[in-house]
Amino acid sequence: MGVSVGVLDHFNIRTRNLADTVRFYEDVLGLEKGARPNFAFPGAWMYSEGKAVVHLVDISKTDEPQKPDSGVVHHVAFASTGFAGMQQRLKSKAMAFDSRQVPGGDLWQIFVTDPNGVMVELNYEAAKEGGVVAPAERRDDVGAR
């Protein structure tokens, strides 16, 4: 029998700012706060397409220091749809972001940072974005990463 690590299931963020972090993943990225086991510590699980992909742990009542960024992990990425709509959403919320096209042209990306300094990469298959102008041709980003 073969062995496979499989695909990424979720990532976990330990935060002193649970409310703003939940708000970012809900209001900015469009994830939904959902069911979470009754752990002995506070937190939230954020869902995308019915799957809990971001686990948040509230460390505000502990002595654990808030890390300023994602440490040795540079970023986390989501396979996404709706490139133009996400750009509009980010602009409407005055969120700094960076759009780019991966060399070769088949993948478009948006990078945005959450309230804890975690960089989130959103990947879009160009062929599925139906007539949207490629990111390399757009210069209307609110900011850079």
Quick one: 80 and 121 in the same domain?
yes
Quick one: 54 and 79 in the same domain?
no
* Whole-number pLDDT of residue 133: 66
* Whole-number pLDDT of residue 51: 97
* Whole-number pLDDT of residue 2: 86
Give how far Cα 75 sits from Cα of 54, 60, 99, Å: 13, 23, 15
Place of tokens 């609110």: 142
Task: Assess if residue 139 is contained within a domain.
Answer: yes
**For the chain, how many structural domains are there in total?**
2
* Whole-number pLDDT of residue 68: 85
Q: What is the CATH number of the domain that holds 135?
A: 3.10.180.10
Structural domain harbouring 109: 68-145
Quick one: 73 and 52 in the same domain?
no
CA distance 69 to 47: 22
DSSP code string of 39-62: -SS-EEEEEETTEEEEEEEE-TTS
* Whole-number pLDDT of residue 144: 42
Place of tokens 């990463």: 145
CB contact at 8 A, 57 and 16: no
* Whole-number pLDDT of residue 137: 41
CA distance 57 to 14: 5
CB contact at 8 A, 70 and 54: no
* Whole-number pLDDT of residue 76: 95
The rounded average pLDDT for each run of 10 residues, N- to C-terminus, in the chain (145 residues) is 86 96 98 97 97 97 90 92 94 95 88 96 90 55 43
* Whole-number pLDDT of residue 131: 66
